[in-house]
Amino acid sequence: MEGANLIVTGGCGFIGSNFVRMVLTELPNCRLVNLDNLTYAGNPKNLADVENDPRYRFVKGDICDAELVASIFAEEKIDTVVHFAAESHVDRSITGPAAFIQTNIVGTFTLLEAARTAWQGRDDVRFLHVSTDEVYGSLGETGLFTEETSYDPRSPYSASKASSDHLVSAYHHTYDFPTLITNCSNNYGPYHFPEKLIPLIISNALNGKELPVYGDGKNVRDWLYVVDHCAAILKVLQQGVFGETYNIGGNNEKQNIEVVQTVCDLLDEKVGLLSSGETRRSLIRFVKDRPGHDRRYAIDAGKIRRELGWEPSVTFEQGIEQTIEWYLNHREWVEEILSGSYRDYYAQQYGER
């Protein structure tokens, strides 16, 4: 990948921004275009530290805009696609699924077509589609998702991601198109938008607000530090076999309530108890469960470990500590989001507490 010309979609989001930063560090001779239309979840400030890098170009635009995408492929001689752009929040997909269909399905199709048209006859190109373990549905008490697990998406979000995965695989089978798919478990870490569980809890707990936990709090997720996810994607991009899917996971199964309690305890330790003298666990409130809330996800990441030699570099305990430190050192980042347009949505979803 020396001298690669990449297009990264959704690079102003949570995982995309961490990935852009990693690529610019790890691949000194690359050139990278970040195509992002800055939805509520996209924040160009996530990449403020690289915006003057001459190898980096930001294009504000929609992945569904076929003309724009084709022009970027031509102007920048794109040979590598890393596709993150998506509507990514399950709750929003329940209240407003249309945007998920448009961006996640039609947007992925638009990118595939642009790449297929631009790359005819080339064998030095690759298209990596970033997806989720949620396409596999929900697990009982035991078992793990492998790359062979049948798809069984349950939310409009996971159904739209499943659909985009199928399109990507179909391009490989139909056109011998050089695809790679990664299906990853829940990420956490720096630049995570504060509507998702961990940053929401950190932000509320710091401000002494209630900590909403769905249902009985016993839903289980596998958690992966975002930097480890980005390293896995880079590895798949460099060494993955076209047409293959790689599951990526942290081997860190936790109940939601355990995650929330860990954040509370770490914050009590780092910044002291609440002004009332109570611990932050006292802020936990169980709220009505999300409709169709999948009970458990767990990933078998054996294939990427065996075939590409990737493993997570941090445990959940290390990663969550680093994440909390990051949020403590970047409080203005969260405050700016919460005081902007996101606030109305936040108030509607969780009430002004």
State the residues that interact with ligand NAD by CB under 6 A: 9-10, 12-16, 35-39, 41-42, 62-64, 84-88, 103, 107, 130-132, 161, 184, 186-187, 193
Q: Which of 36, 62, 79, 133 is catalytic?
A: 133
Q: Which of 56, 136, 157, 191 is catalytic?
A: 157
104 DSSP assignment: I
> Which is nearer to ligand NAD, 132 or 262 (by Cβ)?
132
3-class DSSP state of 45: helix
Which helix (H) or strand (E) segment holds residue 285: the answer is strand 284-287
Of 155 and 283, which has the nearer Cβ to ligand NAD? 155
Q: What are phi and psi of 174, to 5 degrees?
A: -80, -45
Q: How far apart are CA 205 and CA 258, in angstroms?
A: 15
- Decide whether 99 or 274 has the Cβ nearer to ligand NAD: 99
User: Residue with the closest Cβ to ligand NAD?
Assistant: 13
> Which of 204, 255, 196, 206 has its CA nearest to residue 226?
196
Output 86 or 159, the one with its CB closest to ligand NAD. 86
Annotated active-site residue 134? The verdict is: yes
Which lies closer to ligand NAD via its Cβ, residue 84 or residue 246?
Answer: 84
Q: What is the DSSP string of 18-31?
A: HHHHHHHHH-TT-E
- Report the run of H or E that residue 344 belongs to, with start and end: helix 342-350
| Distance in Å, CB of 333 to ligand NAD, minimum | 13
Q: How far is the CB of 118 from ligand NAD (least distance, A)?
A: 18
- Euclidean distance between CA atoms 41 and 323, whole angstroms: 19
User: CB neighbours of 102 closer than 8 A, spacing ≥ 6?
Assistant: 64
Min dist CB 224 to ligand NAD, Å, is: 8
Cβ contact 84:20 at 8 Å: no
Catalytic residue among 62, 79, 87, 134: 134
Among this protein's residues, is 157 annotated catalytic?
Answer: yes
Identify whether 2 is a catalytic site residue: no
Q: Cα(181)–Cα(131) distance, rounded to whole angstroms?
A: 7
Measured from the CB of residue 29, what is the shortest distance to ligand NAD in angstroms?
Answer: 26
User: What's the min distance (Å) between Cβ of 164 and ligand NAD?
Assistant: 8
Catalytic residues: 133-134, 157
